[in-house]
């Protein structure tokens, strides 16, 4: 039994090996290995990615903050009693803090 070659099993294994090869090619494993072989390139790419993320956060925060302040201004223009008191309290706090500083 050990001498007989089971061609069905070999074909099944070959198919599995081809699937594994295609999966590795799709996952770009070779590119990741190449990055680990060149640590300077990996550091450079991570540095650039960090700069881009930081810039994106700054732009996003600016846009969201602008919309928030615009909406707050529109609500204040409606002269609602609760909102007006809230904004007046914030204004008083800011003025008191500015008056304390030399």
| Residue 1 forms part of a structural domain | yes
The string of pLDDT tens digits covering residues 25-82 is 777 777 878 888 888 988 999 999 999 999 999 999 999 999 988 887 787 777 777 7
Mean pLDDT of 2-28: 81
| Residue 69 forms part of a structural domain | no
Q: Is the pTM of this model over 0.85?
A: no
Phi/psi class of residue 77: alpha, beta or left (left: φ > 0; alpha: ψ in -120 to 50)?
alpha
Higher pLDDT, 94 or 54: 54
Higher pLDDT, 41 or 1: 41
| Residue 13 forms part of a structural domain | yes
| Residue 93 forms part of a structural domain | no
Pairwise CA distance, residues 16 & 12, whole Å = 6
| Residue 22 forms part of a structural domain | yes
| Residue 12 forms part of a structural domain | yes
pLDDT at position 1 over 60: no
Domain assignment of residue 4, given as a range: 1-37
Q: Give how many domains the chain has, as a whole number.
A: 1
| Residue 95 forms part of a structural domain | no
With contact defined as beta carbons under 8 Å apart, do 45 and 35 qualify?
A: yes
| Residue 92 forms part of a structural domain | no
């Amino acid at each position: 039994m050990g001498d007989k070659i089971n061609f069905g099993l070999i074909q099944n294994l070959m198919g599995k090996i081809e699937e594994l090869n295609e999966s590795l090619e799709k996952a770009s494993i070779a590119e990741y290995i190449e990055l680990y072989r060149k640590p300077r390139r990996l550091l450079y790419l991570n540095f650039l990615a960090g700069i881009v993320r930081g810039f994106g956060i700054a732009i996003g925060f600016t846009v969201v903050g602008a919309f928030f302040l615009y909406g707050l201004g529109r609500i204040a223009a409606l002269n609602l009693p609760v909102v007006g008191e809230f904004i007046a309290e914030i204004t008083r706090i800011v003025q008191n803090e500015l008056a304390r500083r030399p």
